[in-house]
Chain A
């Protein structure tokens, strides 16, 4: 009996201490691999803190912050004004940190002869108005559209920045970047969009994009993404309720520091520029 009680007490103590030092991170699927790697590195230097990272999409991450269900919400798009007012109504004050820079890559099957598109053409393709690759200088092949599900920040970002209208209803909605890559690799007429951390794969090709049709830039070109010349360059965000505190704060500071930013480049994304670092510092202090 005594032995049993001791065991229970020890277990309870273990559970209690485990629960006390946990940072929950939830949201963007584009950032999932990246933040998981950051969390692993962080835990190896802070062994008593567990950082658990789950996906679901940026919408899920932001709504988890708004509903106070997570410490940190990942989002590959900025929080919408509607979401901010929802947060305020719930007594939540979302604070934003950029942790990496991403260039959304427009990918096609490796056999496609198309090399570049203007933003306008891209929009027409995703609206379903351009339905054959020969309208943009490619082979006579039907376009098949791959995109993300609506909870994805990339879904919203590409729609608002490039398509500027509804996506064609026939767009296949995939559950993650890797699934889009799989789909595009297997489908000769495919077009898809993924974060730059997922684009360096065999069997697919990354297109150059242009805002106005004069100069085309690749998202694999760090300078073009950093300077914003690449049309679909965006920061990847994390949100907390109020200025980050405690273990969540230590984790975010690690991500923004040199070790964290090195992991960002290792994962294929781009480290933060000084402008974003200054903004982050203002939001941390």
Chain B
């Protein structure tokens, strides 16, 4: 018995070691690739500032690298375009998304719940170019007619579309967060005479706060990084918008529109990598903020 057991044990140990090595290697590889991309982005982005003063890049209010006269590389209109459209998206998607998640996790039962959740997750994988097309031919004329504005290709359209796109992520992740709240919480609330809705809003929702925050952050990431759909509906004029009905140009669309035609090695070419760095910093910043919020949350929650 012992004679057959030992080698098997040894071989198991070996597989265990091998598996550990494979996982370590693959995580190392992805870390190296990520760092490589970041380094590449920085090295290329920084070269912009050999020709463009960094302050003029950061605080300039005109983006016009293909100018008739003097090219201008001002970041402000693009950052505003990205942040404002994302803000509108979140204003729409966060309340709707959390409400839907509560419905799915707390109220729906059995196959209805499974079907709804599957549908939501299916929608998360919807090709953005199709949504962009929807925005172009349905939403744009609708906005133009409803608000009596000349064109529906504007900030509002982009924001609404981005809201649609971040909604599935927010719903799905919030639902998961709500589901892991221990059942004893709900039972305790029922025992005190709370209705199911009161339980959902007053007990389960606050208990799932950090997970829901993570959902919102993922939704933010989806919206700020989206390119195709926004490019199709935002009007793409690089101006500082004064109303919901002005066109905007986001950071991502600018990179997509201009990378193909910028001459390799020109200030224009490098400035697009600098835009990539800015996008990266925005994403990193929001992630760090979210992380610290979640940490603080966890500390206050472990009584």
Contacts and interface: CB of A to CB of B under 8 A. Distances in A.
**Which of B65, B153, B247, B261 has most A Cβ within 10 Å?**
B261
A172 B260 contact: no
A166 B62 CA distance: 12
A149 interface: yes
Given A169-B237, A170-B237, A183-B151, A60 B260 contact: yes
B69 A166 contact: yes
SS class, residues of chain A in contact with chain B = mixed
A246 to B, nearest CB: 25
B136 A182 contact: yes
SS class, residues of chain B in contact with chain A = loop
A271 interface: no
B243 to A, nearest CB: 12
B141 interface: yes
Contacts of B262: 59, 63
Interface residues on A, range: 35 or more
Nearest to A86: B263
Interface string B145-159: 000001111000000
A151 interface: yes
Contacts of A182: 136-137
Interface stretch (B196-204, B228-236, B281-289): B228-236
A46 to B, nearest CB: 29
Interface in A149-185: 149-151, 155-156, 159-160, 163-166, 169-175, 179, 182-183
Interface stretch (A37-45, A186-194, A249-257, A275-283): A186-194
A175 B249 CA distance: 13
A144 interface: yes
A160 B152 CA distance: 29
Interface string B222-256: 00000000011001111100000011010000000
A66 interface: yes
A142 interface: yes
Interface residues on B, range: 20 to 34
Nearest to A144: B150
Interface of B: 62, 64-69, 136-137, 140-141, 144, 150-153, 231-232, 235-239, 246-247, 249, 257-258, 260-264
Interface of A: 56-57, 59-60, 62-64, 66-67, 82-83, 86, 142, 144, 149-151, 155-156, 159-160, 163-166, 169-175, 179, 182-183, 186-190
29 contacts: A56-B261, A59-B66, A59-B262, A60-B261, A63-B260, A63-B264, A83-B263, A86-B263, A86-B264, A144-B150, A149-B258, A151-B258, A151-B260, A151-B261, A166-B64, A166-B68, A169-B237, A170-B239, A174-B236, A175-B257, A179-B136, A182-B136, A182-B137, A183-B153, A186-B144, A186-B151, A187-B151, A188-B150, A190-B150
Closest 8 CB pairs of A and B: A59-B261, A151-B261, A150-B66, A60-B260, A173-B236, A172-B235, A144-B150, A169-B239
